[in-house]
């Protein structure tokens, strides 16, 4: 009979790397937003927590995204040596692999390019989550709804993210001091230690004015807060994620479409719409579409290739315009 090794230990979990815990919290929110059942989520989380406890005890509590392939192999070999059943090992592999794959799809947030579990024999690569782009009109619909319902802070988050093409982590660092009077934020820290200011324009400033009037005076430096009165406090990173899940519901109600955006959608949409000439800021400034070289600077990317990967593939559009034919999609 297979021996069941005990992985989760409360004492170990209390000490688990805080970045690993934050990643797991984000992943749980993603699972909930995609309609996974409570039972499924519970099993995924139990598996991952057990693995993180093992890392805390055996691998110096390293952040899970910093682990090498050999560490994952060693973990599964330990399970095999302890007589753990193949079914349980396969389930643990699946749970951990899916968490890491989630991190690769928000690579800008987690700085994780390649899922280390992909190369382990017997694991199939999970499907890549589609990038969801919003049109300028859809962004307007979302902002107008939030403004009409006096949800000025959420409207500001959308407008600033869309103007600046900032990552969620960068937008979360913005401070309120001087925000209304300027067109650029305080210095924020981006990926790989880069520092810069996020730029924004007239609509964002106008929304910020309404938000600041609604918020009133307080001594919290952050631009983002939750609660009221004595419970007022800076909004957490997770709160910003929750807002985006709420925006899905707004778009569904206002458009009748299921538009499963994620926090990165505003960044992708901003760059795409700056590039195709539909971004509202371009009309405000009397400019046409921006070239790829400028988009690279806005995105604070190190290479044109990275920026190109953020945009829609327009190859079919070019062929249709050139030859006057309709290119069939894969489903046709």
Residue 81 within a domain: yes
142 C-beta neighbours (distance < 10 Å), count: 25
Residue 325 within a domain: no
Q: What is the pLDDT of residue 327?
A: 56
Same domain, yes or no: 144 and 101: no
Same domain, yes or no: 29 and 178: no
Same domain, yes or no: 142 and 105: no
Same domain, yes or no: 162 and 106: no
Residue 44 within a domain: yes
Q: What is the CATH classification number for the domain harbouring 149? A: 1.10.443.10
Domain end, chosen from 110, 125, 153, is at 110
Domain end, chosen from 110, 126, 160, is at 110
Same domain, yes or no: 77 and 151: no
Q: What is the pLDDT of residue 263?
A: 85
- The packing angle between helices 265-276 and 136-148, to 10°, is 130
Residue 119 within a domain: no
Same domain, yes or no: 164 and 83: no
Same domain, yes or no: 71 and 185: no
Q: Between 238 and 92, whose confidence is greater? A: 92
Q: What is the pLDDT of residue 317?
A: 59
Confirm if 211 and 153 have CB atoms less than 8 A apart: yes
Compute the distance between CA of residue 214 and CA of residue 31 in angstroms, rounded to an integer: 34
Q: What is the CATH classification number for the domain harbouring 46? A: 1.10.150
Same domain, yes or no: 209 and 294: yes
Same domain, yes or no: 168 and 265: yes
Give the model confidence (pLDDT) of 266-309 as tens digits: 999 999 999 999 999 998 888 999 999 999 999 999 888 888 88
Same domain, yes or no: 42 and 142: no
Mean pLDDT across the chain? 88
Give the model confidence (pLDDT) of 12-66 as tens digits: 999 999 999 999 999 999 898 888 888 889 999 999 999 999 999 999 999 999 9
Residue 302 within a domain: yes
Q: What is the pLDDT of residue 16?
A: 97
Give the model confidence (pLDDT) of 195-220 as tens digits: 999 999 999 999 999 999 999 999 99
Same domain, yes or no: 195 and 267: yes
Residue 80 within a domain: yes
Q: How confident is the model at residue 128 (pLDDT cuts 50, 70, 90)?
A: very low
Q: Between 330 and 59, whose confidence is greater? A: 59
Q: How confident is the model at residue 180 (pLDDT cuts 50, 70, 90)?
A: very high
DSSP state of 183: S
Same domain, yes or no: 206 and 160: yes
Compute the distance between CA of residue 136 and CA of residue 142 in angstroms, rounded to an integer: 10
DSSP state of 84: -
Residue 128 within a domain: no
In b/e form, how buried is each residue of 45-77, taking b as 16+ CB within 10 angstroms?
bebbbbbbbbbbeebebbebbebeeebbeebbe
Residue 122 within a domain: no
pLDDT > 90 fraction of the chain, expressed in percent and rounded: 63
Q: How confident is the model at residue 121 (pLDDT cuts 50, 70, 90)?
A: low
pLDDT > 70 fraction of the chain, expressed in percent and rounded: 89
Whether the full predicted model's pTM is greater than 0.75, yes or no, is no
Q: Between 298 and 113, whose confidence is greater? A: 298
Compute the distance between CA of residue 205 and CA of residue 183 in angstroms, rounded to an integer: 8
184, β-bridge pairs:
199
What contacts 74, CB < 8 A, 6 or more positions away?
none
The number of folded domains in the chain is: 2
* Residue 82 lies in domain: 10-110
Q: Between 89 and 319, whose confidence is greater? A: 89
């Amino acid at each position: 009979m297979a021996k069941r090794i005990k992985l989760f230990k409360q004492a170990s979990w209390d000490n688990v790397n805080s970045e690993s815990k934050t990643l797991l919290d984000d992943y749980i929110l993603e699972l909930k937003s995609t309609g996974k059942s409570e039972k499924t989520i519970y099993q995924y989380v139990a598996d991952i927590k057990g693995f993180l406890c093992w890392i805390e005890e055996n691998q110096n509590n390293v952040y899970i995204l910093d682990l090498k392939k050999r560490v994952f192999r060693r973990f599964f070999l330990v399970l095999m040596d302890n007589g753990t059943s193949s079914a349980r090992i396969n389930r643990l592999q699946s749970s951990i692999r899916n968490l890491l794959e989630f991190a690769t799809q928000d690579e800008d947030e987690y700085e994780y390019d390649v899922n280390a579990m992909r190369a382990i024999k017997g694991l199939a690569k999970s499907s890549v989550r589609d990038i969801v782009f919003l049109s300028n009109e859809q962004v307007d619909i979302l902002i107008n709804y939030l403004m009409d319902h006096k949800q000025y802070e959420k409207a500001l988050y959308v407008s600033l993210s869309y103007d600046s093409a900032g990552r969620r982590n960068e937008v979360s660092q913005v401070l309120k001091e001087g925000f209304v009077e300027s067109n650029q934020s305080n210095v924020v820290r981006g990926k790989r230690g880069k520092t810069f200011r996020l730029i924004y324009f007239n609509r964002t400033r106008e929304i910020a004015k309404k938000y600041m009037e609604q918020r009133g005076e307080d001594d919290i430096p952050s631009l983002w807060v939750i609660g009221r009165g004595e419970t007022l406090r800076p909004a957490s990173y997770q709160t910003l994620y929750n807002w985006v899940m709420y925006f899905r519901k707004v778009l569904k109600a206002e458009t009748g479409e299921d538009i499963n955006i994620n926090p990165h959608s505003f960044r992708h949409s901003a760059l795409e719409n700056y590039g195709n000439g539909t971004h509202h800021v371009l009309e405000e400034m009397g400019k046409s579409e921006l070239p790829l070289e400028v988009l690279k600077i806005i995105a604070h990317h190190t290479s044109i290739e990275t920026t190109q990967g953020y945009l829609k593939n327009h190859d079919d559009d070019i062929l249709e315009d050139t030859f006057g034919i309709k290119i069939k999609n894969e489903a046709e």
